[in-house]
Chain A
Amino acid sequence: MNNTNLIQDDTTPVELNQVELTETVGNIYADDAKMTIRGANVFYGEKQAIHNVSLDIAKNQVTALIGPSGCGKSTFLRCLNRMNDTIDICRITGELMLDNENIYDKKLDPVLLRARVGMVFQKPNPFPKSIYDNVAYGARIHGLTNNKAELDEIVETSLQKAGLFNEVKDRLNDPGTGLSGGQQQRLCIARTIAVSPEVILMDEPASALDPIATAIIEELIDELKEKYTIAIVTHSMQQAARVSQHTAYFHMGKLVEMGKTEDIFTRPSHKLTENYITGRFG
């Protein structure tokens, strides 16, 4: 009852959607940017999914992308390591830079890019192989080492960084698919770390997990930012508030507001952001 009242005496969701978005409010700039995106547009065929988004992803910090379902935050995240290349009808314009290098440059091989910008997906998706092979796969395909001892070392440190080593050290040859959901997701993170990427993109990494597994993942994200730059898409505003230093709020394919996480959650400047983070819609 309480919720309905709130909507009724304020703007309704329908009215909210009609709010004209002209430009992003807040601060899109970071002092030390790992990735800089300027004027990115994404089209699926005729339909435009992302409209003129510009933002920085700060080095060794966590940037959270939040917003209601279908706002384009996942689409945007997948542009950052060219995962959208696999969709034939997807077209991307604008400048997307990683360390001052345009990642959509024709000369840049997406394979190399994805080795530098790793990704963790919404649903844990370990390969139907052993735990060891799951982690070793990336190192193997990139030829990071051709030495068994070094590979063992990579697997062990990656699993340790992902906080999984102690749980699985006695069964590295068991299939990765036999682990619990939370363990599988940490295995996926270990698999990503094993390639030593510079940036890790996480697409709602905890949405399929229970609160305890989520807490472990969040703690892990906090530790990982020491070494890696992280961009995370999340549906949970609490999670964004807990793990990130910067937050970007997306709405209908547009970047509405961006800023320091504490600013966004304590004094949002845009009406839409305020409505979303106070739980009025979304």
Chain B
Amino acid sequence: MTNSKDNSTVSNTMSKTSLSTTEKVSLSLKKRHQKEKRFKSIGLFAVLFGFMLVVVLIGDITSKALPAFHQHWVKLDVNYQSDWLKIDDVSEETLKKANYRTVLKKSVYQMFSTPSDKKLSRKDKRELFKLFSTNAEFTIKDNLIASPEHFNTQTSVWVRLDDDVDSYLKEGFAQGEAGLRIKEQQAQWLVKLSTEQRIESRFNFSFFTASDSREPELAGIRGALMGTVLTMFVTLLLSFPLGVAGALYLEEFAPKNRITDIIEININNLAAVPSIVFGLLGLAVIINVFGLPRSAPLVGGIVLTLMTLPTIIIASRAAIKAVPPSIREAALGLGASKMQVTFSHVLPQAMPGIITGAIIGVAQALGETAPLLMIGMVAFIVDVPTSVVDSATVLPVQIFLWADSPERAFLAKTSAAILVLLSLLLVINVTATVLRSKFEKK
């Protein structure tokens, strides 16, 4: 008892000489709050900076992509004369073989050789003809085949302008001024066409319906989009079940020993392997040994599966690990077999996490270019692929190809293709979020 009395006197004298706890705390309090404020502002800055970068990126791409979504067409007075067409009747066979190039050329020359104009020289004719897309010849062909009654008459047909003209018109040069790749004479002709209200800007449907082309005014995204969809289909079909099965086996069934440790280390390492290595593997094994076709979405999908698998397995294992063991015990205690525990309790609970992992994996695969270059998906392919063994290319490769092209119009096409790729990513992410919330509700 005396001892405790001593203690209290000691603490009393202590408080007189030095600061009390309250004073000490309030002294340090200001510093602590400052620290918190500083950290909060750094965090806010980081978020805003990131957000700003995204806005700049999307804004820049969108502004560059907009010109690709519309296109200039011109109305020509086409004269389907039989001696220009070099045919006498309008049967289906003869219409297909007729000479539309001559019709186009002569019709155009006629339009610009009215008495008020000076006589067209050979050079003028060449320059004039360059104003129109190479596709114009086929447009007038299709027009006559569709309505043969125009044979031997003059009719108005809308055809595409050449990409250089299209770019010139979009870039807003003054009337009649020479532009990049447009000579003054050509500019004058364009003035004449637009005063006659023969030039019209239309929404560019062919960007979404056409495949790749050497001519920018004809090039579209459909081939690459289909290629991407098919490749992603193969990737998801292979990597999701394999990844989930692998993760479930490793987490729920495999004994924990040295071998599973080695497997785990290897999976983690595999996630960090440069993707081009997987491309080489695809070339060396899948194409050369197994003899699958080159440039095919099937091979692309298999290669991307190899790349995506580690991501899915790692994410799935984390999600499976996070399922509370009490749920497993409850089911086991009722006499559920391991399989029943895994599939009716562990997997549904882990599903949201697994889906997140799969989406991260697929999003990576969606933007992957390097491994696909190795297996030949970089080729110039005009046909839209319809099956997984057709030759195809994918959106990122298409972007790479277009970005490499010298024609000015491909600049807008490249940006537009990037927008399509980003939208696809958005669609996948939204789907994943919806799926995830559906699983979480259960």
Contact = CB atoms under 8 A, between A and B. Distances in A.
Q: Do A and B come from one complex?
A: yes
Interface of A: 81, 83, 86, 88, 111-115, 118-121, 123, 125-129, 137-138, 141-142, 188, 191-192, 195
Interface of B: 255-256, 324, 326-337, 340, 344-345, 349, 442
A114 B329 contact: no
Given A88-B256, A111-B337, A141-B340, A188 B332 contact: no
A83 B349 CA distance: 22
Contact of A115 (B256, B335, B344): B335
Nearest to A85: B332
A121 B329 contact: yes
A188 B327 CA distance: 11
Contact of B326 (A81, A121, A192): A121
Contacts of A126: 330
B335 A125 contact: no
Contacts of A83: 329, 332-333
A81 B336 contact: no
14 contacts: A83-B333, A86-B328, A111-B335, A111-B336, A114-B334, A114-B335, A115-B334, A125-B330, A127-B330, A137-B331, A137-B334, A138-B334, A141-B335, A141-B336
B336 A127 contact: no
B338 to A, nearest CB: 9
Contacts of A195: 334-335
Given A88-B255, A88-B256, A128-B442, A114 B332 contact: yes
A119 B336 contact: no
B333 A81 contact: yes
Nearest to B329: A121
A139 to B, nearest CB: 9
Contacts of B331: 127, 137
Contacts of A142: 335
A188 B442 CA distance: 19
B330 A118 contact: no
A125 B334 contact: no
B335 A138 contact: yes
A240 B24 CA distance: 50
Contacts of A86: 328-329, 332
A229 B67 CA distance: 80
A192 B334 CA distance: 6
For the complex of A and B, the 9 pairs showing the least CB-CB separation, nearest first, are A115-B335, A119-B333, A114-B335, A125-B326, A138-B334, A125-B330, A111-B337, A141-B336, A111-B335
Contacts of B327: 125, 127-128
Given A123-B326, A128-B349, A118 B255 contact: no
Contact of A192 (B333, B336, B340, B345): B333
Nearest to A119: B333
A121 B335 contact: no
Contacts of A129: 442
Contacts of A112: 335
Contacts of B333: 81, 83, 114, 118-121, 192
Contacts of B344: 137, 141
Contacts of B255: 88
Contacts of B336: 111, 137-138, 141
Contacts of B328: 86
B335 A191 contact: no
Given A83-B329, A127-B345, 20 more contacts: A81-B333, A86-B329, A88-B256, A111-B336, A114-B333, A119-B329, A119-B333, A120-B333, A121-B329, A123-B326, A126-B330, A128-B349, A128-B442, A129-B442, A137-B336, A138-B335, A141-B334, A141-B336, A192-B334, A195-B335
B341 to A, nearest CB: 10
Contacts of B335: 111-115, 118, 138, 141-142, 195
Contacts of A120: 333
B337 A188 contact: no
A86 B255 CA distance: 10
